[in-house]
Amino acid sequence: MATKNKNLFALFEDRFPADRNSTLLRTMDGDVYSYADAMDESARFARCLSDMGLQRGDRVTVQVEKSPAAIWLYFACLRGGFIFHPLNTDYQLDELVYFVSNAEPAIIVCDPSKESLFRELVKDKHCEIITLDADGQGQLCEATQETAPDFQTRGCKVDETAVLLYSSGTTGLPKGAMLTHGNLAANTDALVKTWGFTQDDCLLHALPVYHAHGLFVGIGCVLLSGSSMVFLPRFNRDDVIAALPDCSVMMGVPTFYSRLLTDRRFNTKLCGGMRLFISGSAPLLPETFAEFHRRCGHEILERYGMTETSMNASNPLDGERRPGSVGRALPGITLRVVDDDDKELPAGEIGHLQVKGPNVFPGYWRMRKKSAEEFAEDGFFRTGDEAEIDDDGYVSIVGRAKDMIISGGLNVYPREIESVLDSMAGVAESAVIGAPHPDFGEGVIAVVVASHNQALSGSALIAQLRPHMATFKLPKRVYVIDNLPRNSMGKVQKSVLREQYASSFEVG
C-alpha cells in the first residue's frame, strides 16, 4: 500500500465509495450513517480534541460502551495522530489504576458512571476527563455540536504508533503493545484481499470495539473495502438472527457460533445471503465446525492472530478449510516453528511458533528490555504459542503461551487472579486453570488451599474477587483442596489440575 501519507485513516479514505452518501453503518434501532457522516463526525471529534490541547502522540484512553460515536472517536484519533488506547468496559478500579498510570493519557473518555472514579485516579495528573455514554451522548458530543468538520487528516510515518493495546502479562504485569499505522494498514489490506471483501459486502458486527478483533479486523475490513455493516451493541442471539438475512459476512468468536446452533431458527434459508462466517480469538472446536456446516451449509473460516501482530494466518476463502487448523500464513507474513534455540523445525514437528512481517508490532510501551526479549536475533517475534506446520503450510496451534486461558474469546492470565486470591484472608495458596466449557470455550477454575484449616466458601471468594477484576476473569468454579500437586522442583503441576477438573463443565 504505497502512499506518501501513511495515516491509516487516509488509506481508508482512499478506498471509500465514490458516492460518500453510501451507507457505512446501520443500527438495529434504524439509524443509518453514511461515509460522509463518518468523515464529518470524526473531523468534529478530531477538531475538538485538538482544541483541548492534544498533541500528536498523546494518548487518549477510552472506556466507553459500543456506539457509532465511539467509532468516530477512534477515527478522530487516527486523523489527529493521537494514540488510541481502548479499555475493556468490564475493567474495575484495581485494573484501571495501572493502565492510567502507565499510559499517562492526556485525556480519558469514559462512561458518565465512571467519571468520578477516573477523576480520582488522575487528581494529581494533567489529564482531562470527558464523558460519552452508550447512546453516543455526553460531554464529548456536546462539545462537538458547534464544531465545524474542518479537520485535515495529518500525515503519519509508517512506524508511528496508532494504537496502544494492553494485555495482562503472565506475571500479572500488563504490557502495552504499540501498533503502528503501518502495522494496521498492511494487515487490513491483506485481510481484505484474502477474504474477498468488496463494496457489495455487509458485515454483521456484534463484536466489542475495545478489542483488536472488532475494531481493527472488523471495522478495518469494512473501511478498506468501502462496504457496510450492521452494527449491533453486543452479541444477542435474537438480534443476530434478525440481522443475518441482510448481511453477507459475519465475524465472531466460537461462542457466537455455538450459541446460534442452539436456536432452531438457524438454518440454510436464514443464511441464504451469507458468503462467509469467520471465527477467531479462541480455538474453534471441530464439532462446532461440522455441526455448523450441517445446519446451514457454510464452513466457518478460522484464522489466527494476537494483540501484538493482528492477524497472522487464515484458512482460504477458496480451498480447503481444515477444522482444527488456522490455515496458512497471510500474504507478506512468514510463520515458522522452531526449537528452544530458534532453529526451524521440519514440517509436522511441534515447536515454538514465530512470526515476521509488516503486521508485527515494534515493541511494548515503556518496556524496552521486555520487547527485545520477545524477538529472535533475525527479527522473528516469539508468539509464545506451540504449533506445527504441515507440508501444505497449514498451521495448527497445539498449546498457548504459559497457562493463558481464552474464555469467550478474551484472554485470561491466571497469575493475575492468583495474586488477588493469595492475598485474601484464609487462603494459603491458589492455582487458576482453564477447563473445556460448552459455551465459552474455556471456563476459569480456581483451586485453593486454605490456611490453618480455615473453612473457605467458593461463592464468598468469588464475591471478594468481583470488585478487583473484570467479570470475564472471575472463576466459574472454585475447588478447595488440601495441597496443590507439585513436581520434584516444587513447581505447581497445572497439567495435573487441568486433567483432574477437565469435566467440571460437562452437562449431564
User: Are residues 175 and 166 in contact, defined by beta-carbon separation less than 8 angstroms?
Assistant: yes
Q: SS3 of 223, please?
A: helix
What is 8-234's CATH superfamily?
ANL, N-terminal domain (3.40.50.12780)
User: Are residues 498 and 435 in contact, defined by beta-carbon separation less than 8 angstroms?
Assistant: yes
Q: What is the pLDDT of residue 2?
A: 45
- The helix (H) or strand (E) run that includes residue 328 is strand 328-329
Tens digits of pLDDT across the chain (508 residues)? 444 568 999 999 999 999 999 999 999 999 999 999 999 999 999 999 999 999 999 999 999 999 999 999 999 999 999 999 999 999 999 889 999 999 999 999 999 999 999 999 998 888 999 999 999 899 999 999 889 999 999 999 999 999 999 975 545 578 999 999 999 999 999 999 999 999 999 999 999 999 899 999 999 999 999 999 999 999 999 999 999 999 999 999 998 999 999 999 999 999 999 999 999 988 888 889 999 999 999 999 999 999 999 999 999 999 999 998 999 999 999 999 999 999 999 999 989 999 999 999 999 999 999 999 999 999 999 999 989 999 999 999 887 666 788 899 888 878 789 889 988 999 988 999 999 999 999 999 999 999 887 889 999 999 999 999 999 999 999 999 999 998 755 678 888 999 999 999 987 6
Q: Grid coordinates standing for 463?
A: 464475591
Q: What is the pLDDT of residue 507?
A: 77
CATH code, 407-500: 3.30.300.30
How many Å from the N-terminal Cα to the C-terminal Cα in the chain? 54
User: Are residues 484 and 423 in contact, defined by beta-carbon separation less than 8 angstroms?
Assistant: no
Q: What is the pLDDT of residue 152?
A: 94
User: Are residues 314 and 301 in contact, defined by beta-carbon separation less than 8 angstroms?
Assistant: yes
User: Are residues 320 and 332 in contact, defined by beta-carbon separation less than 8 angstroms?
Assistant: no
Contacts of 12 (CB under 8 A, 6+ apart): 220, 223, 224
> Which residues in 250-282 are b (16+ Cβ under 10 Å) and which e?
bbbbbbbbbbbeeeeebeeebbeebebbbbbbb
Q: What is the 3-state secondary structure (H, E, C) of 444-467?
A: EEEEEEECCCCCCCHHHHHHHHHH
**CA-to-CA distance for 484 and 499, rounded, in angstroms?**
13
Q: What is the pLDDT of residue 1?
A: 47
What phi and psi, each to the nearest 5 degrees, are found at residue 277? -115, 125
Q: Grid coordinates standing for 297?
A: 451449509
Residues of the chain with CATH 3.40.50.12780: 8-234
User: Are residues 505 and 435 in contact, defined by beta-carbon separation less than 8 angstroms?
Assistant: yes
Q: What residue type is 8 in one-letter code?
A: L
> Which residues in 118-142 are b (16+ Cβ under 10 Å) and which e?
beebbeeeebbbbbbbbebebbbbe
User: Are residues 200 and 227 in contact, defined by beta-carbon separation less than 8 angstroms?
Assistant: yes
**CA-to-CA distance for 345 and 337, rounded, in angstroms?**
6
Q: Could you list the beta-strand ranges (E) of 151-247.
A: 161-167, 175-180, 202-205, 228-231
**CA-to-CA distance for 311 and 358, rounded, in angstroms?**
11
Q: What is the pLDDT of residue 294?
A: 96
Cα torsion angle, 94, 97, 100, 102, sign: negative
Q: What residue type is 507 in one-letter code?
A: V
**CA-to-CA distance for 380 and 304, rounded, in angstroms?**
17
Going by C-alpha positions, the residue among 418, 66, 390 that lies closest to residue 236 is: 66
Residues of the chain with CATH 3.30.300.30: 407-500
SS3 helix, strand, coil % of the chain, rounded to 5?
30, 25, 45
Q: Grid coordinates standing for 165?
A: 493495546
pTM (predicted TM-score): 0.87
